[in-house]
Chain A
Amino acid sequence: MRKIDILFLLPAVVALIILIGLPLMNVGYQSFTNAKLFGKSVSFIGIDNYIKLFNDSRFWNSVKVTFMLASGSLMIQMGAGLGLALLLQQPYWFTRLSRSLFIIPMTISPIVVGIIWKMLFSSVLPGINFYLSLVGIEGPLWFDRGGSARAAVIIAHAWYWMPHVILMLLAGLESLPREPVAAAYVDGANGWQIFIFITLPMLKPVLIFTAIYRAVQALKIFGLIYIMTGGGPGVATEPMNYHIWQVAFSSYRVGYASTIAVIMMLIIFVTVAIVFWYGRKTKAIA
């Protein structure tokens, strides 16, 4: 190791340990205590929190909601993202130019995205329901029922992050070798056949990587919930992240909130590991 490497790495590594390592360890420790946000006395209570968690129906509800929201959003993101990436890959001047416009949603603050969609789905403003009525559909009171509230959150979330899928898939498409496509053309394949039998298989590693990355981010959904629904109606849109927030900052049970956080990290990690393992097994990821 060169001297310059040590000198260059040291400040960043020390900073990362203090900024990320120590807080994570602290959460791990807190999860075994009954710490309160403003309490003085903290005692070690072993795995009591973990036992409690297993019988906590509100926690399991939040796990279910997290996966419902994440999978719904992920499907729209990936489907629409792939379609748009293929469209934007066409070699015209306007496709290059419009790429910046397609990226705009993902750069907006989650707060603003939440506000935009909360207002669009609101029944007092002429938003989604007004435009639905133009084509003869009577929109529901979106935030009054669990199902439609989740749908509203999923639509907002998919709109927010689909641009990221476009970006990653465009990069993937551009890095593909051109020869196989040209060869297929010569052999008389049509556009659809080329897509199914050549482009899609070659793009598979990028698709899986993008899906994993976006899934991890979707499992962390918080900002939109905070602004749009506050977890309601009831706990119908309360994902794990928002549940932790409630336990820690509404009922001040920091110890228990940390336990949920540890389990949540574990769930995310296991999900990623399974997808990764599956990708390796099917040789989609090298």
Chain B
Amino acid sequence: MIASKLEKRISFTLIFCTILILVALLLFPVYWILTISLKTQVEAFKTPPSHIFIPTFDNYRRLFVEANFFRYYLNSIIVSVGATVVGLMFGVPASYALSRGNFKGKNALLFGILTSQMAPPILFIIPYFMVYIRLNLIDTWIGLIIVFLSTTLALVIWSMRAFFDDIPIELEEAARIDGASDFQTFFLVVLPLVATGMAAAGIFAMILSWNQFLFPLVLTRSKTITATVAVIKFASAEAEDWGLMTSGSIILTLPVIVFTIIIRKFLQRGMISGALKG
């Protein structure tokens, strides 16, 4: 604690430089793929790689014009938003009940929801596939939204609990003394207080759905192919189109990075405090 000014400055510079180098190293793969997406095929394969070059957006033009990527992108948006909205509608009230309610089996239920997320998606894909064929849900938005719900719902319940726990119970008691019913208290007093938490949990659930690939890979055919599956198709052995693979990857990743930076603060809270408390 009693460090001289010089010592402080040295440690400041040292840590600053270390972090700078580490960030550069960690994000290098992302930067590297970005440069490849902006190069022509010939330039991309050149050794040593050029770091200063005239960027070409030809790969992106091909992605949207020839490969019809926008349609897949739209599918991804629809099913991610759908799974998130339904997940919030079912999950937020349930999470409130699990935070405030006092009943037998509450902890068992929470534990069950958490352990269910330990099961690998591959386990679910077989029964879902067989049921979907019978119900004609293959290659539909609804089908994808339903299967995504199996992850978003659990996520919303767990991450919202921490936000509900944080609200002082006195607020709700005061509302009740003023004559509000349980429902009025929830909708008029509690819900506005967790609005940011809901936004964070929603974005989190959306990113999770956005990145899903196994379920759409098996459960779509042509109409509802998502952006992730489209990128897989660019990367499959017969095609291996580097230009489309890289530009598709960048476009797929862009919104995720933006949203992550927005909810960074909450990502930490929702995920960990909820888990550690439980």
Contacts and interface: CB of A to CB of B under 8 A. Distances in A.
A254 B23 contact: no
Contacts of B214: 222-223
Interface in A80-110: 84, 87-88, 90, 92, 94-95, 98-105, 107-110
A57 B186 CA distance: 56
A9 B23 contact: no
Nearest to A174: B268
Given A16-B116, A109-B252, A115-B231, A23 B124 contact: yes
Given A12-B153, A115-B231, A249-B218, A109 B276 contact: no
B126 A257 contact: yes
Interface stretch (A67-75, A137-145, A195-203, A261-269): A261-269
Interface string B66-105: 0000000000000000000000001101101110111100
A171 B272 contact: yes
Nearest to A97: B19
Chain A contact residues, majority secondary structure: helix
Interface in A1-26: 1-5, 7-9, 11-13, 15-16, 19-24, 26
B267 to A, nearest CB: 7
Chain B contact residues, majority secondary structure: helix
Given A120-B29, A167-B268, A108 B123 contact: no
B259 to A, nearest CB: 8
Interface in B20-57: 22-23, 26-27, 29-30, 32-33, 36, 44-49
Nearest to B124: A23
B182 A2 contact: yes
Contacts of A26: 127
A4 B97 contact: yes
A211 interface: no
B149 A19 contact: yes
B186 A15 contact: no
A180 interface: no
A130 B49 contact: yes
Nearest to B259: A107
Contacts of B127: 22-23, 26-27, 30
B130 interface: yes
A12 B211 contact: no
Interface string B157-168: 100000000000
B30, B98, B122, B260: residue with the most chain A Cβ atoms closer than 10 Å: B122
Given A12-B93, A115-B245, A220-B120, A126 B49 contact: yes
Nearest to A169: B272
Contact of A115 (B146, B235, B268): B235
B113 interface: yes
A153 interface: no
Chain A interface residue bracket vs B: 35 or more
Contact of A13 (B22, B109, B121, B261): B109
Contacts of B153: 12, 15-16, 19
A103 B125 CA distance: 29
A116 interface: yes
A206 B273 CA distance: 11
A15 B149 contact: yes
Interface string B113-143: 1001011111111111110000000000000
Given A20-B150, A117-B29, A112 B231 contact: yes
Nearest to B236: A227
A104 B249 CA distance: 14
B130 to A, nearest CB: 7
Contacts of B210: 109
Contacts of B261: 100
B174 interface: no
A185 interface: yes
Given A24-B119, A107-B207, 10 more contacts: A4-B97, A8-B97, A9-B101, A16-B153, A16-B154, A20-B154, A109-B253, A115-B231, A209-B275, A220-B121
9 contacts: A1-B101, A8-B94, A16-B154, A24-B124, A30-B127, A87-B15, A116-B249, A126-B47, A167-B272
Interface of A: 1-5, 7-9, 11-13, 15-16, 19-24, 26-27, 30, 37, 84, 87-88, 90, 92, 94-95, 98-105, 107-112, 114-120, 124-127, 130, 159, 167-168, 170-172, 182, 185, 206, 209, 213, 216, 220, 222-223, 227, 241, 244-245, 248-249, 254, 257-258, 261, 264-265, 268-269, 272
Interface of B: 1, 12, 15-16, 18-19, 22-23, 26-27, 29-30, 32-33, 36, 44-49, 90-91, 93-94, 96-98, 100-103, 109, 113, 116, 118-130, 146-147, 149-150, 153-154, 157, 182-183, 186, 207, 210-211, 213-214, 218, 228, 231-232, 235, 242, 245-246, 249, 252-253, 256-257, 259-261, 264, 267-269, 271-273, 275-276
Lowest 3 CB-CB distances: which A-B pairs, in order? A12-B94, A8-B93, A109-B211
